[in-house]
A and B are shown apart, each in its own frame.
Chain A
Amino acid sequence: MTKKKRTMADRVFVVCNTVFMILFVIITLYPVLNTLAVSFNDGTDALRGGIYLWPRKWTMKNYVTVLQKNNLVTGAYISVLRTVIGTLLALVSNAILAFIVSRKRFLFKKQLSFFWVVTMYVNGGLIPTFLLYKNLGMTNSFSVYVIPGMISAFNMLVIRTYMNGIPDSLEESAQLDGAGYGTIFVKIISPLCKPVYATVALFVAVGQWNSWFDAMLYNRLDSKLTTLQYELMKLLSSVTNQGTSMEAMKNSGGNVTPTSVRAAATILTMLPIICLYPFLQRYFVTGMTLGGVKE
């Protein structure tokens, strides 16, 4: 009797749970798929509404319009550049710092760790930082994208935790063979740290690709230095305040609307991430469990 009751409740649970998961997947994917459908649909036709998961009137014009917009193309170029350079710089510098503070016999091991952990809790805030970058001549320059966030205590701690798990005997035997710290870092520790390096690189790269605030704050005035996300934001606000929407319509021959162009730009901005992230899953799962949460 009790057994039968339980299996009944169990069956209800399984059904409910499956329905819940399907709903979850729909809510997660629908907005993305809808944007995709709109991006391939004729702009004026889309204004009638009723586009859900499949375009009604196919066209490539939205994408052609996006690729003809100079600011979006330059933005994409800058975004790629900052992602590649920023990730490399951050990875190398965080790895070097983590290597130093994970050497058990390093003279200032504790002090150097403390120096960086403090930065996680105390920072100057927006205005002092803004003025500092201005005084350093970093406004209206590419360097503001890649230099300021280069070393971060969080990423350093993630790598350090991983390095601490590597047996000391490897370092000691290398030292007996006459290897200096440089060699130990490059030839012995780093090859073993590939998974954690991949994790940190992924975190930094996603952050770089998605950031727009620094572009708005520091490089707004130089149209050759703004990023793709920032240009996308401008596109969004031009759609929301319908005022400037006529301009986009004019230079495209009538059947492209700001909404459809933005859909195409959104899809192009998402594309690198959507293509890459399923393959990098195992890295960010290790990263999350290694270092807590990173937003």
Chain B
Amino acid sequence: MSNKFKNKSKANIIEPKTKISWKEIKQQKVLLIWSAVIVVYGVIFYYLPLAGWLMAFQNYKPKDGLWHSQFIGFAKFQQLFSDITFIRTIRNTLAMGVINLIATFITAIVFAILLNEIASKGGKKVVQTISYLPHFLSWIIVTGILHDALSGSGIINEVLLKMNIIDQSINFFAHPGYFWPIVAFANVWKETGWNAIIYLAAITSIDPSLYEAASIDGAGRFAKIKYVTLPGIKPTIMILLLMNVGNVLNAGFEIQYLLGNGLVQSVSQTIDIYVLKWGISQSDYSIGTAAGIFKSLVSIVLIVIANQIAKRNGEERLF
């Protein structure tokens, strides 16, 4: 009897809805009209550009348009991958993407944990408020600040000179070796406080009784961080890591474009800059599109891989 009841209620959960009646559809008229408008917008601004991918397989000429340009198969992709500059942009994009991802991840987690250990509520609030500030500044402003700080007479050189670490000021923007670290530092400076928000929220939601139990067991501050706080925020760390893996290639434009110069272009140019340079400045739309498609495909592959890893480890999945 009770079993039968259970089954029934289960069925109810699975299929609680009755079919949507014509009367209801009529009621939903306004929703349908708005949906139609929104779908038209979406098709134009998000789906129509996908048709432009055809250009990558054509010798696209603006005067011939998409319909009459000559198809050339994968020739543009071949041209792309035989271009050493393009191969270098792949390396630069991946390298900076990964370095930035790791650097911003670790600093945000460490910052969140350390901030959480601050006893004074007021002090915590003040530090946190200040830590958000750089996130709201544009890359234009941030690169301006970097130029000031790292210039020959800038504060960094001054401090290094005063501490006798160097005996003549370094021109940071002229040496390729400094570029990736500068980009990573700029990302850390800009986003640490902002990225920490979500970890702080996760730390706050850890059950306080876990800390009490750990105290009773004689755990000190470090043991509590290691055995309570870190495991508590592990799911958050995992999901954010996975979300950001798909974005690794997208993080390579603004700062590299604004900070790059002729002297460091072998390490500063990213795929997006390549697309801009060839596609827009040289008006070679086909090669620009091909490079863009390559980037999109790699991103999708990365997302799928990340999602599979998440699934295998039993973590929450993205989609």
Contacts and interface: CB of A to CB of B under 8 A. Distances in A.
| A-B interaction | yes
Interface in B139-158: 139-141, 143-145, 147-149, 153, 155, 158
A281 B145 contact: no
* Chain A residues touching B, majority SS: helix
A108 B285 CA distance: 37
A34 B289 contact: no
Contacts of A18: 118
B140 A151 contact: no
Nearest to B198: A288
Interface residues of A, number: 88
B49 A125 contact: yes
B220 A293 contact: no
A279 B50 CA distance: 41
Contacts of A266: 141, 144-145
A180 B32 CA distance: 13
B279 interface: yes
Contact of A123 (B34, B49, B131, B221): B49
B266 interface: no
A117 B46 CA distance: 11
Nearest to A104: B17
Given A213-B254, A288-B198, A130 B279 contact: yes
Nearest to A125: B292
Interface in A205-256: 206, 209-213, 217, 229-230, 232-233, 236, 239-240
A176 interface: no
B49 A28 contact: no
A233 B255 CA distance: 12
B45 interface: yes
Given A127-B280, A229-B138, A121 B303 contact: yes
Nearest to A27: B189
Given A206-B136, A236-B147, A293-B243, A105 B127 contact: no
B106 to A, nearest CB: 14
Contacts of B35: 100, 108, 112
A293 B198 contact: yes
B180 interface: no
A264 to B, nearest CB: 12
A96 B34 contact: yes
B136 A128 contact: no
B187 to A, nearest CB: 10
A49 interface: yes
Interface string B222-259: 10000000000000000110011011000101100010
Interface in A106-147: 106-108, 112, 115-117, 119, 121-132, 136, 147
A128 B53 contact: yes
A35 B148 contact: yes
B305 to A, nearest CB: 13
Interface stretch (B3-11, B85-93, B293-301): B293-301
B280 A93 contact: no
Nearest to B196: A288
B30 A129 contact: no
Interface string A166-195: 000000000000001110000000000000
B52 interface: yes
B288 interface: yes
B161 to A, nearest CB: 12
A15 interface: no
B111 interface: yes
B282 to A, nearest CB: 11
Interface string B115-141: 101110001000101111110111111
A128 B49 contact: yes
B38 interface: yes
B300 A121 contact: yes
A165 interface: no
Contact of A285 (B197, B289, B296): B197
A4 interface: no
Nearest to A96: B34
Given A130-B279, A181-B30, A20 B48 contact: no
A96 B137 CA distance: 30
Interface of B: 17, 20, 24-25, 27-28, 30-32, 34-35, 38-39, 41-42, 44-53, 55, 111, 114-115, 117-119, 123, 127, 129-134, 136-141, 143-145, 147-149, 153, 155, 158, 189, 191, 193-195, 197-198, 201, 220-222, 239-240, 243-244, 246-247, 251, 253-254, 258, 261, 272, 275-276, 279-280, 285, 288-289, 292-293, 295-296, 299-300, 303, 319
Q: Closest 5 interchain pairs by CB? A: A124-B49, A128-B52, A125-B292, A210-B138, A128-B49
Given A25-B130, A129-B49, 13 more contacts: A10-B221, A35-B148, A100-B34, A119-B46, A123-B296, A132-B45, A210-B136, A210-B137, A210-B139, A236-B143, A236-B147, A288-B201, A292-B239
